[in-house]
Amino acid sequence: MNFVIQSVGSYIPAKRVTNDELALTLDTSDEWIRSHTGIGYRHIASDDEAASDLGYKAALDALQHASIDVRKLGGIITATATPDYYGFPSTACVIQDKLKAQPAFAFDVAAGCSGFIYGLEIAKGLLRQESMQHILVIGTEKLTSVVDWKDRNSVLFGDGAGAVIVSSEKADNGVRGIIDSELHADGSGADSLMVAAGGSRKPMKLGNLPMEEITLRMEGRRVYNFAVSVIVGTLRSLMERNQLGIDDISYIVPHQANIRIIQAAAKRLGFPFEKFYVNIEDLANTSAASIPIALKEMDEKGLLRRGDTIVTIGFGSGLTYGGNVIVW
């Protein structure tokens, strides 16, 4: 059997915020943000939009383009670091209700910015059971709900969602789909990118916690060094294991965290930067949503052609990282 991506969908909130707008309240500038991150804009969800609302709209887009009835979904996997509710219900279950679907399962994957990478491999594993044919995998984030807008790191993040339908099909026309994956985690770096409070270790109660503990905090240099290292290592490993040279790969689709991270990894590998698909200037860092949003853009531009080899690379809080080799 092949485990193929049938379609890609996305949803980007309408509100678009420029660097200059952020510079009105932060000690920063458009020039500084662009030179240090490659970001020019970010989209921000409205106050009444939650992660499930963004994910639901991306899911509808993917379902429409796959021409698959929602009743045929075997499962829903949602990758998010900003769930509607901490604990229960899962954001996947909320999306299931919005879709009026009755899949065999619906659950969240909490792997930070690597969540979509994890979700694809989990979907592939579940489809091997042959008791279902289609699984919806969603990456959805409302990161602007957990940032401190007085912290300069807030300029990195935006909101959005992307979704794919992963389906099993007989391999009558050659091998395609999700070919190989690597999933990794390094818990020793858990405190380098985190929201310190709000969970069971330090429950959030009205007025009992300072802003720096209930919003996202990051050790920038530590995360940068980690990200460059794991992009390089994961790409080398996947390429060697699958006997791929850089000319065999149409595009590398990395998590859109920071342009400098991607540039440094490309330089260390000796790969042309043009092989990396980058859209961070317009959307900023949308965590688990960044890769499926990028795939949707590529599909709309006609960059994803049948038989092309695509490699996705994710990295983020946990610290987690991984990648997928996909033949389109």
Q: What is the set of active-site residues?
A: 113, 255, 285
Place of tokens 């990456």: 139
190 close to 318: Cβ distance less than 8 angstroms:
yes
Distance in angstroms (rounded) separating the CA atoms of residues 239 and 246: 8
Query: Which 3 state secondary structure label does DSSP give 135?
Result: strand
Distances (CA, A) of 98 to 14, 63, 81: 21, 13, 20
The residues that bridge with 165 in the sheet, in sequence order, are 7, 136
The enclosing H or E element of 145 equals none
- Counting every residue, how long is the chain? 328
28 close to 155: Cβ distance less than 8 angstroms:
yes
Distances (CA, A) of 42 to 18, 67, 157, 247, 254: 7, 31, 7, 33, 18
Q: Show the beta-strand stretches assigned E in the chain.
A: 2-11, 15-18, 41-44, 73-79, 105-109, 134-142, 159-169, 177-185, 193-194, 217-218, 251-254, 309-316, 320-327
> At 92, phi and psi to the nearest 5?
-60, -40
